[in-house]
Amino acid sequence: MKKVYTCFCTDVIHEGHLNILREAGKYGQVTVGILSDAAMIKFNRFPTITMDERARIVQETGLVDSVVIQNEIMYDKVFADLRPDYVIHGDNWREGPERAIRQNVLDNMRKYGGELIEIAYTHNANVKKIDDNIREKLAMPEYRRRRLRQLIRLCPVVKTIEVHSGLTGLIAEKTIVEHNGELDQFDAMWLSSLCDSTAKGKPDIELVDMSSRMRTIDDVMEVTTKPIILDGDTGGQVEHFVYNVRTLERMGVSAVIIEDKTGLKKNSLFGTEVAQTQDTIENFCGKIRAGKDAQRTQEFMIIARIESLILEKGQADALKRAFAYVDAGADAVMIHSRRKVPDEIFEFCDRFREKDKETPIVVVPTSFNSVTEAEFAQHGVNIVIYANQLTRSAFPAMQDTAVEILKNHRALEVDARLMPFKEIITLIDDM
């Protein structure tokens, strides 16, 4: 009997999937691949139920002969193991980054043989409602909040991009690319005080209070599903930090990063060029403990940011603080540097990992931006935050556009560099 293969990356079986299964049954023995959790993430999906549950749902349709786990987005191992005579898929992968997956199937067919059968994608109100319900479920606090811890377990590195508005949140949510035969995307979002303040035309000195920043969080949460890491600056007074932890946790924020400095906020990249003071280990540990005591779930994370290298106090001080903060309850540590080479970051990570194999390490490679995520992973880094690139790219573009309009007394000269209205509308409407 001929072998037929199709693959699903969904938590719910709807009419479209059933159409594919019925069609598949006409050609032979049907095997359905269920994307693993790690593979679903690369596919810009995130499971709301377990992999075993997803497999059982497919099996219970009564339309399949066997179910297997597909651990990779691409089909190379599927063809090597199963040698399917037919691959059946909806025709919705002809456009966008998913074209790379389709091409991979065709390439394997040239090598192993077989035929691709594409079924018209099922567009109806019921299917859209199911898809919308899944997305809304992922946006709910209880699902969003836990995702960062899940991602740390599933991903070599959690790729995190700065957002500061609903629009930039949509960019972080929807940007997906094909690269070297794989699909890739951002895993999480970073809301910094610098970019939030800059977007509001304010200096980064904690002038924008937490209430205002929570409105930004709301704007982002309303149109996205990815987990949020919040820049909490110093955390403020302990009493304020406790309150904010509870609020952020309730909102569905996954983590807050607080830095071990005191006094008026100064951007860390100024280093010793401006007066910056570091908190005592005892005081900062007390703040961490108070925050952990305040939270109501096991999912929310408090991440301790260590400023010792920024302030040129050396590795010994940075490591002493890191281990003390973890002992106080910090769920992860962030190490920062303003050097353009990563040597001191790598040294810290390596020495930290000699004693602590589990606590996640976070880096923000603004200065040492030549390092790849794979290189960071080799040194035990779990989360990489691209902290301000969207803001820094947007402002020059807007300024140049304004200058050109003034110089030419019309907008024609800038039109080629502008995003078409249709693309903007599509980005927003397809939430």
> Catalytic residue positions?
204
Contacts of 406 (CB under 8 A, 6+ apart): none
Q: For residues 219 and 407, what is the distance between their CA atoms, to the nearest angstrom?
A: 35
**Cβ distance 414 to 401 under 8 Å?**
yes
Q: For residues 310 and 194, what is the distance between their CA atoms, to the nearest angstrom?
A: 17
**Cβ distance 307 to 278 under 8 Å?**
yes
Our CA angle for 229, 298, 34, nearest 5°, is 75
Report CA 86 to chain centroid distance, whole Å. Answer: 34
Task: Give alpha helix (H) positions in 71-186.
Answer: 76-82, 99-112, 125-139, 141-154, 166-174
Q: Which residue has the tokens 């904010």?
A: 244
**Cβ distance 335 to 349 under 8 Å?**
yes
**Cβ distance 90 to 105 under 8 Å?**
no
Q: Which residue has the tokens 């980005």?
A: 427
3 state DSSP class of 26: coil
Q: For residues 345 and 58, what is the distance between their CA atoms, to the nearest angstrom?
A: 46
Other C-beta atoms within 10 Å of 163: how many? 30
**Cβ distance 43 to 10 under 8 Å?**
no
Q: List the one residue out of 185, 193, 239 whose CA is nearest residue 217.
A: 193
